[in-house]
Structure formats: C-alpha cells, structure tokens
Structure 1
Amino acid sequence: MSNEEATTITPPSSSDSMNDKLSRYLPISLNPDGSFTRLAEIPNTPASPDPNSPSPVLSKDIPLNPHNQTFLRLFLPRHSLRRSAAAKPPLIVYVHGGGFILSSPANPSFHNFCSEMAAYLGAVVASVKYRLAPEHRLPAAYDDTMDALYWIRASEDEWLREFADITNCFLMGTSAGGNIVYHAGLRAAAEADDLLPLKIGGLVLHHPGFGGSKRTGSEIRLADDQMLPEFVLDVVWKLSLPIGADRDHEYCNPTVGSESAALDKMKLLGWKVMVTGCDGDPLLDRQMEFAKMLEKKGVEVVRQFDEGGYHGLEIIDPTKTTPLFAGLKEFTTISQ
C-alpha cells in the first residue's frame, strides 16, 4: 500500500465479514444503507453530587440543550469546598473521544479520567456530552461544544462561580475530542469577545484524531494496530464526516484547510496549544504534522510525545495518567 492510496472502506482480507471483524473493536454493526446499529449500550457511571458521599471528587450533570439531549458533567474536588474563594484554579472544559460515534461523559472510562484529572489538578472539569454521528454528522459536535462554552459564560452555577476561574479556561479533548476541541477552538478564537467573561488560555489535544486521504508512515506501519487498525479509521471517518466529503475535508485534515484568519486570532490572543501522542499510535504522524502546521502559523506549541504506548493509553490504563496530568498542570500554569 502506497502513501498515495485514497481512503476507502476496504473489506478485511480474512474470511471474516466486515461486521464480524469490526465488532472486535467497536460495538456496532454496519447496515447496507450506510448507517449502523449500536450493538450494546456502554455502561454509565452515575454522577455523584452528594457532599456526604465518600468520593474525593463530586460530580453532577447539567442539561445544555434538551432538544439535542446534550449536557455537561461537572467534576469538583471535595477539598475545593474548604478552599479560599480567592485561590481559584483554571477551568478545564473536556471533550471525550469515541470516534465521533460513541460514548459520553458518563462512560466509566471518561468519567474516571475526568475525576482523576480534577483531583490531580485541584480544578473543576466540565465534560461535554455532544451529539453523535452518523445521526448528527460533523460539525454537530463542534456546535455543541460551542453551546457549552456559551452556557459556562453566562452560568450562575455555584461550582463554576465559586471554585473555578472562568477567565482562565483550557479546552481539552481526547482522540475525536481533540479534533472537536481544535475546531471549536477556532470558532472560540473568532468569537472571543462574545464569550467574555470566559477567557481561553489554550488548547490541549490528547492523542487528537486527524486524518487525510493519503496514508502516512505511521498509519502504514500500524495498519493492523490492535487498538486502532486502518479499517476502523476508515469506518469512523466515513460515518462522521459530512456526506460526500473525503478525508481531505478540513474537519478531518486541518493541514489543508483555510483557517489562517482564525489561527491568526488564536496567536493574537496568546493561546498555546499542547499536543500529546505516542509512537504506538497510528495517528502519530498526523499529530506531528498538525503541530508543525501550528508552529508555522506562529502559534506556540507544547509537545508531549512518548515512546511506546497506544492510542488513548491514559483513558484505558489509569496507571499511566500521571505524566500526562503533570504536563497538563505545568501547561495550565505557564499559560496563565
């Protein structure tokens, strides 16, 4: 397979059907009409807002748009209830992964990740539930993330007003969530004055999900990756991009987009962008190309690329979160 091969959904080379093989990675089954069926409900972790509960981090759900069934799950370290109101940490607005097609802030993996992040940073984390593709293709998730920012901007919620500094906010996303954070971030930069008093200090793209029509070296090298094989990437993009769009659409491949004005505004606002990844991720080359593109536009980039690992490592293995959270803590401190 050459670098010049265009992206298509290619049937697996084994005797297994596409759906048999796909079900080993994603709980979905493709339908002949291009839609898919979710085979199983992912278990949910309920929010725990009771201050008398034993949890070191409290959580609660707040509706955003009832029509779209979107919401925010807020995470508050218990010790914040005893902290001086004058010492407010940054607010982290987090966007979960799931290939744009699965999951929510209530997914146990993402719930636990946000809870641990809130505890480590001593910060309020606001995790966004956005609409999923293919029922709601991109840019629906970008729209929902912007809805969350505008809600936070005007909210009188006690956890946000008393225990978070919304004038020092960071947007963070994992995998597909990293893609969403970047595109919502472009909009937020263009609309920065309208978002006041909410002020964004930077973006954190954790193993961000980007693509393109030509395969990269890391995609070819890890075509049979156990976490994110080539054909799963093909399926996810086919289901999430606007109908008829290829993988050089700006939503997928930011290096061919025309967002120079928004990036100029991001630079003018002094935002920094942290990009994390690892060499066991098929998307590594995409992430490094993305970081180079930002630097060429004059945006300051903080890179945290590790040896080994795999896509979404820290979400799947909580014992690996400390280096990521330590880098995030430093990043949110130096960006103030």
Structure 2
Amino acid sequence: MSVNDVPPTSDENVTVTETKFNNIPVRVYVPKRKSEALKRGVFYIHGGGWCLDSAASESYDQLSRWTADRLDAVVISTNYRLAPKHHFPTQFEDVYNALRWFLRKEVLAEYGVNPERVGVSGDSAGGNLAAAVTQQLLEDPDVKIKLKIQSLIYPALQTLDLDSPSYQENAQFPFLSKSFMVRFWSEYFTTDRSLEKAMFSNQHVPVESSHLFKFVNWSSLLPERFKKGHVYSSPRQGSSELAKKYPGFLDVRAAPLLADDSKLRSLPRTYVITCQYDVLRDDGLMYVTRLQNAGVRASFVELLGLNHFMETFNTIMSLNNVPVTSDENVTVTETKFNNIPVRVYVPKRKSEALRRGVFYIHGGGWCLGSAALKKYDLLSRWTADRLDAVVISTNYRLAPKHHFPTQFQDVYNALRWFLRKEVLAEYGVNPERVGVSGDSAGGNLAAAVTQQLLEDPDVKIKLKIQSLIYPALQTLDLDSPSYQENAQFPVLSKSLTARFWSEYFTTDRSLEKAMFSNQHVPVESSHLFKFVNWSSLLPERFKKGHVYSSPRQGSSELAKKYPGFLDVRAAPLLADDSKLRSLPQTYVITCQYDVLRDDGLMYVTRLQNAGVRVTHNHVEDGFHGVLSFLELSISHRMISQYINWLRENL
C-alpha cells in the first residue's frame, strides 16, 4: 500500500468495501441512507498515466465517497494493472472486464442499481480508458445494458499529434509537461525509449497510417479561439518499424479519437472537462467537436484559470492532510509559536534527561504543503519516536497569496520562539541539542534562518546542527549541469522550479520567463556569480564535460521590482565566507536526478572551504522528493540515514 493510500473505511454516510469484479480489484461505495428507488451507478477509473495510483489513493477515495453520498449513487472505483510492468492492452482489458462484470443484471441488482442509470467516469488516463471502454461496449453483443452517460475529466485521447496548440503552449507547464506526457504515453506501450523520443519529436506515425490524421486535425476541429494564430502543419512521417513493434499507439482502444463517425454517433451523452493550462486540452476539445458533429449530446466545461493553479493544486494536496492524532509512542498537538501554527511531537516514553529538539520545515516550493500532510506527519512522528526527540513541524504562509520575505519571516519568528529558554524548558528540550531541518523549499528556509540567527543578538541559544534535504539554495544560475541533465525529469522539472522560484517573489510571469531563460540577473549584480560558479565549486565528476559560461545579463527593472531573488535570505548560497564559517555542523542530502543537486553540492564545497563540519549524503539512485515516496525502499533507507545522523550528531 502506498503512503497516500487509505484503507476501505466506512463512515456515517457511506459503506466502503473491497471486492473483485472478474478478478479485477475494485472498491465499492454504497450510501447508507435508505431509498425505495434503485440508485444510480457510477463506474470510476483513476488516472495516473497508466503507470501510477490506485482506487485506494486518498484523493480518489474521497472523490468516490463524496460522489456516492451527494449523488445517492453506488460508486465502483476500479483498479487495473500498471505500466511499466504491464503494457497496453492490459490496462484497457482490466477496466473493460471489470465494467462488463458490473453491467451484469444480477450484479446491478445485488447493489440496488438502476440498469437505466449507469455511467462511466475517469480522469486523465482514466478518462482515456473511460472513453475507450464506452466505445468498445458498442461492439459487444453480450452486454445488454447500455450506459446512460460518460464523463471525461481532462482526458488523454490521441497519440498521433503531440504538437497541437495546447501541447505547444503548455509544453513546460508544471505537473504535466509535454515530456512527462510523452513518457506516460510511451510507457503505456513499451519501455523502449525510442518510441518516447519519436513521440516527443512528433515523428512516430508511419506514412501508411497518415490517413488517421484526419481524426485529429486540430485546424478543423478546434474552436477558433483555441487556435490563437497557430499554423497547422502535418506531423513528420515516422518509422514503420516502430508501428510494427508497438502497434498499440495506433489502436483506437488506446486513442479513442481515432474512432470513425459511425461509431461515435452511437455513444451516450457525454460530459468533458478541459483545462486551459493542460497539454491535453485539445484532445478533449477535438472529441467534443467530433461527438457534436456526429449528433451526440456533448458538453464541456473549460476551466480557464478560475483559481490560480498553485492554489488549486494546494487544495488537491490538502486531501492528504491528516488530523492531529497521538499514537502509542508519540503525543501530537497543535499550537502557535509567535502566531505561526506548528505541530508538536513529543515521545511518550519517560526520560530523565532533557531531549533533543528538531525544528522541521516542510517543502512545497514556498507555494504548497503543510505540516499536516501525511508524509510530513509520518516523518515527524518517526523522528520523535526513533530519536527520542521533541519535533516542531512548522507551517508558514504560502505563495501566491504571500510572497518573500513572508515565508522566511514566518519560519524565523516561529524558530526564535522555540529557542526561548522557557519554551525549551516547557517541552523538556536540551538547549545545547537543538537543530533545524527541512526539505526542498524547506531546506532553503532552514539554511536561510540558520544564517540569520548568526546576526541576531537577542537569540542566545545556538543551533547545534542544520540538516538540508535536497535544498534549493540559489536563484542566479538555473543552467548548471544538474538543471541541464534533469530539465525534463518528472516530479521537479526545470520549468516547475523556475515557476516555484518566481512565485516566491511575484505572480508576474515575466520573472519566470527570464529565470527559465537564465537571463534575469542585471549586470550590476554580476559580482554575485562568484558564489554560485559551478565550474569551481562542483566536484569534477558532476561537471561531466559541461562547459561553463557566464549567464546572460538580465533586466535591471526586474531586479528593482523584485529584489528578493538577489537577497541572501532567499538564496543562502549568496552568503559570504565570513558568515558561512560560523555555521553549525551540517548534513546535506543531494540526489543525482534532481535539478537542485548542484545547489547542495556547491553549498557543501563552500561550507567545507569555510571550515564547517559537513556530512554529505549523495544518493546516486535518488530523485527530488523521494522521501515522499514511502512505497519505495530508497525512501526508507534515506529516512533511516537522516535519523541516524541526527542520533550521532545532535
């Protein structure tokens, strides 16, 4: 079970069970309130690029129980086998077989479902599968019950043209970039990276299949306002060998937009959700046009940025928040330190000695997350229990509503409060054994507040250690070797990092664009590059033949409007050596597959050059955010190493 999975737990409104439909695991959500009438039936298919997630994921569990309760419907949330272990058509067949089982009269009767009120829904890859199985049912003489509706939430519907306007406009967009989407598509069919490379260059459809482009010709299928002056050109022809080896990418069961009109006109009423900032937007729009042209009642809702996307994503993430719950080992409470909300984790076992104190700062690009997220709650209680330490997990106000220096100030004020003698005494913490830790943006804030404490005459208690987990430490050069090598890497791409950095300072997208092109530092600040010159600060093996060139000069206006990106409190690598040499013992984790890798490596070099005791843990098989993937053994290995280092040094 993944860390984001939840058990099948009934509540006061919905009974939740697990079973199998034709050997496919499903979750069943049945409303508890009595009803004389037969209920609606909703068959839901989760997303995740055919590679990730399950019906047990907390977000899907929450959606299914809300749907069951508010709609008074029986919801079947299906699983299916995933890539890369299983490729097309396995996912399609699993979903189709589970749906066929549900549509048997005796099964519908068992769950009290009206056979005339059954629909299929899914999001993203689940939307793809929903559209595909709905089409397949039309050709299945053994299925007598017809679907009343299909609901497709930002669905992936075609593999032929990955250069439509939405792919062009959102190619670097966070959360689902073009490169990430292409990787998902190719993994659906094979682990052979040659297909991925061909799809990314839009050069994968052989000439003998070129007649299929009529089904996905966006120049004729998109409403005018979505073309936005784009000029259509036929995709370049690809290799026949690829299509012979992996014919699935030309199969209508994988690409429902390839269905001809004779099939489309028999489909049920359809609801499609598309999002403006989504590479898959045009897939949904073209399907709506084709369905309407075929006489199907099809409508769509366009989410055109009704909410700022960071706020929207934070709302989604909050579904993974957990309440303040003590367990047999740790007492968990919430309070405020200098008006900043924090969670406090105190071991229950008795101790005659004063305990260590760990002040933890969560990541999330200064825009997302909280101490209440399940992954941070687990890390904090594990640290408290295994280390016999008091852990303070702090919150801070987030962008885009709040910009720098708010996040820094919130964390700093909460830490100063914790470091008061009377507060440490209240929690039984040894004032000589206090440390600060944080990951990603939290690692940035940990480094920044640790530096700031050196200049604060009112804080008498000194930190014993700082622990920085894949930290973001500099804003000046977003073209170091690690940025170049991992620019398209999932979880944290270069484009997403530039977006997070810029959101920290402003919602003005001009800063993001300048940072992405590495052209944002004005000539009058060029002296700062000496602090982040990777050609002199990176170990030789990380340079890998890269040639250093000074970043291009940027606009003085940007630096005047948003001076924060040149502030040492935002970019701790900009601190001079006289400050660094006074820092406490430091532990730095870097991951090979992480755009931020070189930030951590350069800080290690500069700290060591300044005489600071540094332990550097470089994880060769690690990637950014890996501590959050608790289903992976590497995550537990790194957590154990982190806690063991704290045990030995704090």
CA offsets 1:217-262 (integer angstroms, 9 cap, x no match):
111111111111111011111100365348665355444x244343
Q: Which residue of 2 aligns with 1:64?
A: 337
CA offsets 1:187-236 (integer angstroms, 9 cap, x no match):
11222x5223x331011001111343340111111111111111101111
Provide the rounded CA distance (Å) in 1 between the counterparts of 2:484 and 2:600.
15
Provide the rounded CA distance (Å) in 1 between the counterparts of 2:396 and 2:322.
17
Q: Which residue of 1 aligns with 2:325?
A: 48
Q: Does 1:217 align with 2:481?
A: yes
- Residue 347 of structure 2 is aligned with which of 71, 77, 84? 77
Residue 126 (structure 1) shift: 0.4
- Residue 577 of structure 2 is aligned with which of 260, 263, 276? 260
Shifted more, 111-120 versus 321-330: the winner is: 321-330
Report the CA distance shift for 1:214/1:103 in structure 2 as closer, same or farther (over 3 A). Answer: closer
Q: Which residue of 2 aligns with 1:177?
A: 442
Provide the rounded CA distance (Å) in 2 between the counterparts of 1:180 and 1:21.
25
Letter in 2 for 1:301: V
Letter in 1 for 2:502: K
> SS in structure 1 opposite 2:389?
coil
Residue 160 (structure 1) shift: 5.8
Q: Which residue of 2 aligns with 1:295?
A: 608
Q: Does 1:203 align with 2:521?
A: no
Report the CA distance shift for 1:226/1:112 in structure 2 as closer, same or farther (over 3 A). Answer: same
Provide the rounded CA distance (Å) in 1 between the counterparts of 2:359 and 2:337.
14
Shifted more, 203-212 versus 309-318: the winner is: 309-318
Provide the rounded CA distance (Å) in 2 between the counterparts of 1:71 and 1:294.
32
Provide the rounded CA distance (Å) in 1 between the counterparts of 2:437 and 2:586.
10
* Contact persistence 2:322–2:372 (CA under 8 A): yes
Residue 150 (structure 1) shift: 2.1
Letter in 2 for 1:18: N
Residue 29 (structure 1) shift: 8.9
Q: Which residue of 2 aligns with 1:5?
A: none
Work out the number of aligned pairs and report it. 304
Q: Does 1:126 align with 2:396?
A: no
- Residue 170 of structure 2 is aligned with which of 9, 12, 18? 18
Residue 97 (structure 1) shift: 0.2
CA offsets 1:91-117 (integer angstroms, 9 cap, x no match):
000000000001110111211121122
Letter in 2 for 1:237: W
Provide the rounded CA distance (Å) in 1 between the counterparts of 2:276 and 2:432.
44
| TM-score using structure 2 length | 0.43
Provide the rounded CA distance (Å) in 2 between the counterparts of 1:294 and 1:254.
11
Summarize the alignment of residues 95-106 of structure 1 with structure 2, pairs less than 5 Å apart: 95-106=361-372
Q: Which residue of 1 aligns with 2:416?
A: 150
Residue 320 (structure 1) shift: 3.7
Q: Which residue of 2 aligns with 1:327?
A: 641
Letter in 1 for 2:483: E
What are the ranges of 5 or more consecutive residues in structure 2 without an aligned counterpart? 1-161, 178-274, 278-303, 507-560
Q: Does 1:244 align with 2:562?
A: yes
Shifted more, 89-98 versus 161-170: the winner is: 161-170
Report the CA distance shift for 1:201/1:101 in structure 2 as closer, same or farther (over 3 A). Answer: same
Q: Which residue of 1 aligns with 2:122?
A: none
* Contact persistence 1:29–1:37 (CA under 8 A): no
Shifted more, 272-281 versus 140-149: the winner is: 140-149
> SS in structure 2 opposite 1:279?
strand
Report the CA distance shift for 1:13/1:230 in structure 2 as closer, same or farther (over 3 A). Answer: farther
Letter in 2 for 1:48: T
Report the CA distance shift for 1:205/1:130 in structure 2 as closer, same or farther (over 3 A). Answer: same
Provide the rounded CA distance (Å) in 1 between the counterparts of 2:381 and 2:468.
18
* Contact persistence 2:630–2:636 (CA under 8 A): no
> SS in structure 2 opposite 1:100?
coil
Provide the rounded CA distance (Å) in 1 between the counterparts of 2:601 and 2:629.
22
- Residue 165 of structure 1 is aligned with which of 414, 430, 445? 430
Report the CA distance shift for 1:122/1:214 in structure 2 as closer, same or farther (over 3 A). Answer: same
Letter in 2 for 1:178: G
Letter in 1 for 2:426: R
Q: Does 1:276 align with 2:546?
A: no
Q: Which residue of 2 aligns with 1:186?
A: 451
> SS in structure 2 opposite 1:295?
helix
Provide the rounded CA distance (Å) in 1 between the counterparts of 2:374 and 2:647.
28
CA offsets 1:42-91 (integer angstroms, 9 cap, x no match):
12211125xxxx4432211112344xxx2111112222xx222x2x3310
Q: Which residue of 1 aligns with 2:199?
A: none
- Residue 494 of structure 2 is aligned with which of 230, 233, 256? 230
Provide the rounded CA distance (Å) in 2 between the counterparts of 1:214 and 1:102.
21
Residue 330 (structure 1) shift: 4.5
Provide the rounded CA distance (Å) in 2 between the counterparts of 1:156 and 1:182.
25
Report the CA distance shift for 1:183/1:162 in structure 2 as closer, same or farther (over 3 A). Answer: closer
Report the CA distance shift for 1:13/1:310 in structure 2 as closer, same or farther (over 3 A). Answer: farther
Provide the rounded CA distance (Å) in 2 between the counterparts of 1:166 and 1:122.
15
> SS in structure 2 opposite 1:195?
coil
Q: Which residue of 1 aligns with 2:190?
A: none
Q: Which residue of 1 aligns with 2:197?
A: none
> SS in structure 2 opposite 1:262?
helix
Letter in 2 for 1:291: V
What are the ranges of 5 or more consecutive residues in structure 1 without an aligned counterpart? 1-11
* Contact persistence 1:95–1:172 (CA under 8 A): yes
RMSD: 3.2
Report the CA distance shift for 1:214/1:65 in structure 2 as closer, same or farther (over 3 A). Answer: same
* Contact persistence 2:587–2:616 (CA under 8 A): yes
Structure exhibiting the larger radius of gyration computed from Cα positions? 2
- Bigger RCO of structures 1 and 2 (CA < 8 A, at least 6 apart): 1
Q: Which residue of 1 aligns with 2:629?
A: 316
